[in-house]
Structure 1
């Protein structure tokens, strides 16, 4: 396809990039039924959008057709057993000072009920860890893995 977009194609791509982070969710009201399907088919066949399952997104070529630079994908953090949230919790509980529910929530992004559930289920029942808790007057409850 030449760099020449139809006004309808331009409107669809521009809206997707300006309003929905590159997801094609909007079509002009004048575009109905078969005409809408033809425009989508044309954009896909020219590589300007990609359609995966029910999600339609603007491609690198779609950005370039509008004279824009495509965003650079940020590298994903690969989780391993050593860098999992469960490993983080275990390491926090192994510290000499132990850890509070709030500290674990901050480190993992979990809600307090999720932390308590993980300690009771995954750590105690499944892994068999002996988790002790202590509470001193005027301070938060501290949890530790006893060794």
Structure 2
């Protein structure tokens, strides 16, 4: 694992818990030249990325570009991996974030409470294991999920519909198979 300063760890940890992995706002007391130096080093190392801010959703600005637009900072897969967040899950969340602004750019107004909130998942959790199982080409049946997670069947179905579909906004499909029962798959975006 790369060596992170306390400030860098705080920025990435907070970003991992925010919708869309937003790194803004920065920690209290980090401003001016110190903030610029810290963020510049993190961008150079690939831990943060500067992206267009969605002003309709009132995303905090890192800097203004001068043409009426602004940018914000998000944690990258490498940044989340540096603090122990599973890069597979981070890439799924990142893909969803990058796809959404293009789809909503033609709308006149977008409400900040629209759609599911995007969050990151810690590596090694049962939810991360569930996502990995659903990303396999053959998907996963409820029986397989129950065996891997030690959950009850209703808990597995609830995690798929609640945590993955509603909370993370992932597209999960299901198919009936005569041998395996209902098989769930995570659609590749």
Question: TM range, normalised to the smaller chain?
Answer: 0.3 to 0.5
Higher RCO, 1 or 2 (CA under 8 Å, sep at least 6)?
2
Bigger radius of gyration among the two: 1
TM-score, scaled relative to structure 2: 0.36
